[in-house]
Amino acid sequence: MSDRLKVFLVDDHGMFRAGVRAELGAHVDVVGEAATVAQAISLVGATEPDVVLLDVHMPDGGGRAVLDAIRKTHPQVRFLALSVSDAAEDVIGLIRAGARGYVTKTISPDDLVDAIRRVADGDAVFSPRLAGFVLDAFAARPDAAVADPELDQLTNREREVLRLLARGYAYKEIAKELFISIKTVETHVSNVLRKLQMSNRYELSRWAADRRLL
């Protein structure tokens, strides 16, 4: 990639920011970092990065507050949520607020660079655990009321792709396994992301409501 991506780090742990900066330095331009919500909102506006790496848990509203503020003024900025939390409601809440992906902080540097590129390209990034949550939330339950089949249900193909993601397959491996192109895999994952953001399925609202995220 000749044109280096501009990446901005938002995390209240200085040590973690330094570590990520060192890991990413060779592959992308880290144009700035912020330790607080207010700092992030003003600096992201000034630096106009391609991708913001966003910590879920921070004082003063967390990643959610940053997302809400910046998406109003800079809709072109893309967000990748980064967290130590694997709690469903945190992750789903941030995705529904507009983040294009979620990875855990234990992710390897190569995978992180990969995820950043994917998010910058407008694709979605699901960690295995997020894929598991989505499968769980969209499980075909007989009692689940489906208001909008287009948004509230996953297609079989999307389900297959999510299962492979949850099993630890990379996009390339999924493509090979399902005999489809990587581009098609990306399309499926993006569709799932869209459903996750737009659907009003009961399970999703409940997760969000449990933590007052919506």
Partner 1 sequence: MPDTAAPPPRPRLTRSRDDRLVAGVASGIAAHLGASPTLIRVGFVLLAIFNGLGVLLYAVFWAVLPLADAPSARREPLKLLPFVVGGIGLIVAASLLNTQEPGSMIAGWLVALIAIGAGIIWHQSQRASTPAASTPATSWLSVLASSRDRRVYFARFIGGAALIGAGIIGLLVVYSPGRVEMHWSDLWKALIFALVAVAGVVLVAAPLLFRTLTALRSEREGRIREQERAELAAMVHDQVLHTLALIQRNAADADTVQRLARGQERSLRNWLYQPTGSPNEHFAAALEQAAAEIEDTYGLAVETVVVGDRPVDERVAALVAAAREAMVNAARHSGVRTISLYAEAEPGQLSVFVRDRGVGFDIETVEDMRHGVRGSIIGRMSRHGGEAEIRSAPGEGTEVRLSLPVTAAKEEASHE
Please state the closest distance from residue 84 (CB atom) to partner 1, in A: 8
Tell me whether residue 85 or residue 184 sits nearer to partner 1 (CB atom). Answer: 85
- For position 86 contacting partner 1 by CB under 8 A, the verdict is yes
Using alpha carbons, list the distances in angstroms from residue 145 to 110, 131, 201, 203.
41, 22, 8, 10
Does position 132 interact with partner 1 (CB under 8 A)? The reply is yes
Stretch that binds partner 1, among 10-18, 27-35, 40-48, 129-137 (CB under 8 A): 129-137
Of the two residues 45 and 168, which places its CB atom closer to partner 1 in the complex? 168
Distance CA 31, CA 24 (A): 11
Sole residue written with tokens 């598991």: 132
- Based on the shown chain and the rule CB under 8 A, indicate whether residue 109 belongs to the binding site for partner 1: no
Is residue 135 within the footprint of partner 1 (CB under 8 A)?
A: yes
Contacts of 164 (CB under 8 A, 6+ apart): 173, 174, 177, 178
CB of 5 to partner 1, least distance (A): 26
Provide the mask over 162-181, with x wherever binding to partner 1 is found by CB under 8 A and - wherever it is not: -x--xxxx------------
Instruction: Work out how close the CB of 130 gets to partner 1 at its nearest, in angstroms, rounded to a whole number.
Output: 9
Residue 68 found at the interface with partner 1 (CB under 8 A)? no
CB 104 within 8 A of CB 86: yes
Instruction: Compute the distance between CA of residue 131 and CA of residue 163 in angstroms, rounded to an integer.
Output: 7
Q: Smallest gap, in angstroms, from Cβ of residue 204 to partner 1?
A: 13
Helical ranges in the chain per DSSP H? 14-24, 37-47, 62-73, 88-96, 109-120, 128-137, 149-152, 156-166, 171-178, 182-198, 202-210
**CA–CA gap between residue 160 and residue 125 (Å, rounded):** 16
Number of chain positions touching partner 1 (CB under 8 A): 17
Interaction site with partner 1 (CB under 8 A): 85-87, 106, 128-129, 131-132, 135-136, 139, 163, 166-169, 203
